[in-house]
Amino acid sequence: MSRDKGGGRGAFLGPGRLAREFSLLQRQGGVPHAQLQPDMNDTLTWHFVLHDLPADSPYHGGVYHGKLVFPPNYPFAPPSIFMLTPSGRFEVNKRICMSMSDFHPVRNPADQSFSWESPEKRVRMHSK
């Protein structure tokens, strides 16, 4: 269970946490060079579009669609990150190998310094 109606510990996990983080992102004006949108049919999936990337980026001039797939126990486990637009760098719809993603499992949860990073920080990594 990712959320309990009584406001207990489950309210801080998964979909409830993500809804609050998305609301905060909207109030703060979003993420530079990115548009984020939770999936209407799956609260644990967010789509993003990277655009207007800096001139010194190898991806300058392109527009790239990707998705973040969060586990039900987020933020205690990292999301999967996928790119859905061909870029020549990442395989389409395959998990991306990043230290802040679920690609490399961490044996000791205390080592997950990224576990408290917001989706905004994860998308910023791609948009720089």
Annotated active-site positions, please? 97
Of 37, 44, 28, the residue nearest 65 (C-alpha): 37
CB 94 within 8 A of CB 108: no
